[in-house]
Structure 1
Amino acid sequence: MVAPKKNKDVEVEFDVSEEDEQLSKTQIKAQMVAMQKLGESLVHLGQSSLAKVPMEEELLDAVMLARKILRKKEGYRRQLQLIGKIMRNTDIAAIEHALSNIKSAHKKLNDAFHGTEMLRDDILLQGDSKIESTIVDYPLLDRQKLRQYVRQANKQLADNKPPKASRELFQYLKQIING
């Protein structure tokens, strides 16, 4: 952006670039809080998920230390601030991308689990009609085995016994459908 400056009879122009504009103190604090929250989400990840996140050794050490002092309120807060400070010099986009991949994979697994649960419940409620439509969708399923699970589940329900057959049906569906 070019800002004109009038000096009596001479008009002087100078460049004001966006890089020269300084961030306000509030904006800097907001960025720091965002980095601390990102760091906190790293602290709460499982060990296998944390290994999937690309980060420098210094940041990994800080995250591991924060895990150890999780119960020490003031020390944990200061450690999160240190993590935020370290993250200023790292590639945050790669970390955010890895975190979003981890969360989406978890969501997919969760959705598949709930879908299998709903299918099991539908099979138990609707019986043979739902078994037939399910076999059309998933030809690897064994019709006889499904009917056997439904009969056992109905008998256990009538006898007020624990729903063992229902759980076995769920495991069978999960094994065949989700691989």
Structure 2
Amino acid sequence: MNQDQFPPSDDDEVDENGYRRPSKSQRKRDSHDLQALGEALVTMPKDRLADIDLPESLSDAVDDYKRTKSFEGKRRQMQYIGKLLRGVDPEPIKEAVASFQLGHARNALALHDAERWRAELVADDNTLTRWVAEYPQSDVQKMRALIRNARKDFAAAPENRSGRGFRELFQHIKQTLEGAGRTEGDGDDLLDEGEGED
């Protein structure tokens, strides 16, 4: 091993043999990065984790974390996951986590887009003209009926609102956006969570 293996940095330390090694601060930052990666891993669904080529010990540790109930147990298990991550190449795992998070971000944007359209369609008749201009394949009669039902629901006293009109309009908007390729990923679960929001 020679000094050229580590690019020189102001944070590098030189040991007694003259070799450069990452500074204590750099090692601590790296450790925190791996800890954050571990925290992101445990939030991923089991089917997405299965797609990542995790070592068995790391996969088991993530499963154990998800089963652990106590705060202290979770803290210790997360430290163990961080320790296991130090022994593997983190780059493929980082890429898989980033891809998963990007998919969630896209789904959240699609959800907000559908909710924005719903709110504007219910609030203003001119919005339907804009909608039809952007999505000419839309069934205008059906859209008018869905908007009318959503408005009736909205006009009712809060205790008498069923939310059905809002949900049906939302579903129709979502399906139209998906059909037009405006939503990405496999985020139907995220979009469905917003159906009942008024």
Identity of aligned residues (%): 32
Larger Rg: 1
2:155 to 140, 143, 158: 158
Following the alignment from structure 1 to structure 2, what is the Cα–Cα distance between the partners of residues 17 and 157?
Answer: 69
Following the alignment from structure 1 to structure 2, what is the Cα–Cα distance between the partners of residues 77 and 155?
Answer: 50
Equivalent AA in structure 1 for residue 172 of structure 2: Y
1:108 to 106, 109, 115: 106
The answer to whether the Cα contact below 8 Å between 1:42 and 1:63 also exists between their aligned partners in 2 is yes
For structure 1, the residue ranges without an aligned partner over 5 or more in a row are 1-14
Question: Structure 1 154/67 Cα, relative in aligned 2: closer, same or farther at 3 Å?
Answer: closer
Question: Offset of 1:32 from its aligned partner?
Answer: 2.0
Q: Which residue of 2 aligns with 1:52?
A: 51
Question: Offset of 1:144 from its aligned partner?
Answer: 0.5
Question: Structure 1 150/76 Cα, relative in aligned 2: closer, same or farther at 3 Å?
Answer: closer
1:134 aligns with 2:121: no
Q: Which residue of 2 aligns with 1:3?
A: none
Question: Structure 1 166/67 Cα, relative in aligned 2: closer, same or farther at 3 Å?
Answer: closer
Normalised by the length of structure 1, the TM-score is 0.80
Q: How does 1:12-161 map to 2 (within 5 A)?
A: 16-17=3-4, 19=6, 20-73=19-72, 75-127=73-125, 129-160=126-157, 161=160
> What's the secondary structure of 1:140's corresponding residue?
coil
Structure with more strand by fraction: 1
Question: Deviations along 1:24-48, whole A, 9 cap, x unmatched?
Answer: 3333233223212211221222222
Equivalent AA in structure 1 for residue 177 of structure 2: I
Following the alignment from structure 1 to structure 2, what is the Cα–Cα distance between the partners of residues 79 and 154?
Answer: 51
Equivalent AA in structure 1 for residue 24 of structure 2: K
Question: Offset of 1:70 from its aligned partner?
Answer: 4.3
Question: Offset of 1:155 from its aligned partner?
Answer: 2.8
Q: Which residue of 2 aligns with 1:178?
A: 178
Question: Structure 1 159/91 Cα, relative in aligned 2: closer, same or farther at 3 Å?
Answer: same
> What's the secondary structure of 1:103's corresponding residue?
helix
Query: What is the aligned residue count?
Result: 163
Question: Offset of 1:96 from its aligned partner?
Answer: 0.8
Equivalent AA in structure 1 for residue 176 of structure 2: I
